[in-house]
Amino acid sequence: MNQSEGEAATLAVTADIPSLPGEADLQRLSPKALLALGLDGIRPLYLATRIYLAFSLWFVLIWLLGDFYEFRGNEIVFRIEYPLCLYLFFTFNQILRPSRWRPLLASAPIYGTYAVHDVHYLTFGAIPSLAQVRELPELFLVGDFWLRSGMILSALGIAWFALRLIQYNRRSLMVSLPALSLVFSIVLTPAWVAKGLEYGLWGLNPWMQAENAANNGRLTLAIYNEARRLEAWGKLESHIQDDNQQQYYDRALAYLKTNARRDRQVFVVMLESFLDPRLLKPLKGRDEYLDPNFRRLYDKALGFSVSPMFGGGTAQAEFEVLCGVPAFAEFDQVEFNIFSSNPIPCMPRVLSELGYDTLANAPYIPAFFNSNRAYPGMGFTESYYAREHTDKPTYLHLEQGQKYLFDGALFEQNRGFLEQRQSAKPLFNYILTLYGHLYFDVQRPIKWKVESKDVFLEQIVNISYYRSGPLAEYLQWINRQYPHALVIALADHLPMLGGWKERYNALNYLNNIEDNIYHNRILVVQDGKPKKLPTIQHFGVPYLVYDYLTDGGFCKNFDCPIEYPVEKEKLRERYRYLLANAAQKPHEVSGRNGP
């Protein structure tokens, strides 16, 4: 390239770049022109200030509006949460491609995170965790067509956002470094992150997560909780060898082997989202909403058991009922996710050690909440799923065109299987029902019309009616087939009414007693006779079983945390011991892990 060609190329490149005025040019400009030039120079700063001011006003508005649903804290939220959100907003502004919509798009991830957080809290009464992202596959599995479609569209939208709107360049990398450093720090040094945040957090209360989020901010608390969870996970191995807990289970098993009667059977039926409609004030006195045969036989014996969950999280209720400890969610939002099939001394394993056949019957997908690992780890010797979802031998099958097996069909299939079963061993038969799961497909004609603004109430009332009759028939069959048996039927959690826990308070559920949304129906039948119990905790079920097998001797010799309320904290070390061993691969564990 010769000199003239190079000059031409330079002119072509710089043709669109306006030249800056020199000193002589400035002297020739009028004061008005100079003012206009100055305004042009500060206009980008003015626009940026206006954008960030609008974002700050949004943040303050969210903080103020939180008072409407009891989710407002004090000004301490501006110590960490506000700078964090402002930084994230700045970062998204920098990494997105220029457009008139860039400020709105930059704020969308923060708006969305806050919306998901608050909707989850209002729906389930619990603060969400970052670890719950792992539950999205489970949600996709159990969701209907519209939920799955929404999840797919959301995933495609996020992919489009990432591919089309983000600039992948050095500037994007540089402004993202603090966020990336925080992510890596949470993963690699969670204890350091948690300790650092504690210096800025205020009034942390382990039992009042909503209050913590209100005081310190949604994102800040989510980061802190995840760091604490990963820190606890790192310490999990330290709980594998706990002599106190090992000795407890050794003594308990030794006592049971000596004193438990082997001529008694045990049945536990976990009823998905079962609700007694008569406990809602507008439906009080409507006895016809439950099957007349069920009412005649068992109405007076109906009691309450307190679940760890509301509106979802069946696996958490299962964990408590089968393992006898609270579902603290200390190491994972769902304890079943931790299981590797390594044996731990939950109730099925204890009964197996006593010579019982231990059967799990769950007419759904083996991977549902990792149950295909959790059930063997807890000690079930046989697990049966619907044949439509497994290649393993099973007697269970779905009704044509149905996603969740109707309770009556499930009980009938289980009866037929047990009647043909050839075994001289005593039986522990655990059934998990799925009928009544969101979105409350009745699968039967609507018998009872219910006028209510609550979206699902009519379906739930009819589902309760249709399942109470088959449950009564199943219990009567057990009485005939197994005269000496303990049967415990209880709900895993309450169903959602239109999605909001406040609906139960509006309907005056159980006269709005404390923790009313965690109180679920339980029915106990002992040797064919209904037995009314005081309110218990879900994790008290194994102790009821052990006490029944020993004619009341177990709870005289061991502490039985059955009645509500129970000081849960005294069971935390037992919980950690179980989870630490559950998480280990079988070949990684040396020595015994309990019965």
Task: Give the global pTM.
Answer: 0.74
Question: Is position 369 within any domain?
Answer: yes
How many structural domains does the chain have?
2
pLDDT tens by residue, 182-240: 889 888 888 888 888 887 787 776 546 677 787 788 888 888 878 877 887 788 888 99
Residues comprising the chain, all counted: 595
| Widest distance between CA atoms in the chain | 109
Angle between helix axes 102-124 and 77-95 (nearest 10 degrees) is 140
Instruction: Tell me the residue range of the domain where 217 lies.
Output: 61-234
3-class SS at 381?
A: coil
pLDDT tens by residue, 470-484: 999 999 999 999 999
Query: Which of 191, 217, 234 is the last residue before a domain boundary?
Result: 234
Residues 448 and 535 in one domain: yes
Strands 529-531 and 382-385, bridge-based pairing: unpaired
Residues 204 and 270 in one domain: no
Residues 417 and 270 in one domain: yes
Structure confidence at residue 589 as a pLDDT band (50, 70, 90): very low
* Average of per-residue pLDDT values in the chain: 85
Six token digits for residue 162: 């990432």
Report the pLDDT value the prediction gives residue 584, as an integer from 0 to 100. 83
Question: Is position 38 within any domain?
Answer: no
Residues 279 and 201 in one domain: no
Phi, psi dihedrals of residue 166, rounded to the nearest 5°: -90, 140
Residues 451 and 324 in one domain: yes
Residues 6+ apart with CB under 8 A from 296: none
Phi, psi dihedrals of residue 383, rounded to the nearest 5°: -130, 130
Six token digits for residue 423: 């075994």
Strands 357-362 and 485-491, bridge-based pairing: unpaired
Residues 6+ apart with CB under 8 A from 276: 290, 302, 464, 521
The neighbour count for residue 99, using CB atoms within 10 Å, is 10
| Least confident among 87-101, 473-487, 546-560, 564-578 | 87-101
CATH number of 577's domain: 3.40.720.10
Residues 297 and 187 in one domain: no
Share of the chain above pLDDT 70, in %: 86
Residues 225 and 268 in one domain: no
Does the pLDDT of residue 28 top 50, yes or no? Answer: yes
Distance CA 570, CA 244 (A): 13
DSSP secondary-structure letter at 494?
P
Does the pLDDT of residue 172 top 80, yes or no? Answer: yes
Chain-centre distance for alpha carbon 173: 34
Question: Is position 330 within any domain?
Answer: yes
Residues 229 and 271 in one domain: no
- Choose between 383 and 35: higher pLDDT: 383
Residues 200 and 324 in one domain: no
Residues 441 and 360 in one domain: yes
Share of the chain above pLDDT 90, in %: 46
Nearest to 437 by CA among 522, 334, 311: 311
Q: What is the mean pLDDT of residues 50-63?
A: 80
Structure confidence at residue 142 as a pLDDT band (50, 70, 90): low
Report the pLDDT value the prediction gives residue 8, as an integer from 0 to 100. 43
Report the pLDDT value the prediction gives residue 6, as an integer from 0 to 100. 43
Residues 158 and 92 in one domain: yes
Report the pLDDT value the prediction gives residue 195, as an integer from 0 to 100. 83
DSSP secondary-structure letter at 587?
G
Residues 6+ apart with CB under 8 A from 514: none
Q: What is the mean pLDDT of residues 166-194?
A: 88
Q: What is the mean pLDDT of residues 66-81?
A: 70
The neighbour count for residue 298, using CB atoms within 10 Å, is 21
Question: Is position 198 within any domain?
Answer: yes
| Least confident among 36-40, 81-85, 312-316, 477-481 | 36-40
Structure confidence at residue 399 as a pLDDT band (50, 70, 90): confident
Report the pLDDT value the prediction gives residue 169, as an integer from 0 to 100. 87
Report the pLDDT value the prediction gives residue 15, as an integer from 0 to 100. 41
Question: Peptide bond preceding 495: is omega within 30 degrees of 0, i.e. cis?
Answer: no
Q: Give, for 486, the enclosing helix (H) or strand (E).
A: strand 485-491
Residues 552 and 411 in one domain: yes
Question: Is position 187 within any domain?
Answer: yes
Phi, psi dihedrals of residue 268, rounded to the nearest 5°: -125, 125
Strand runs labelled E in 408-482: 427-432
Question: Is position 54 within any domain?
Answer: no
Q: For the chain, give percent helix, strand, coil, nearest 5.
A: 60, 10, 35
Question: Is position 553 within any domain?
Answer: yes
Question: Is position 40 within any domain?
Answer: no
Query: Which of 234, 249, 283 is the last residue before a domain boundary?
Result: 234
Report the pLDDT value the prediction gives residue 68, as an integer from 0 to 100. 57
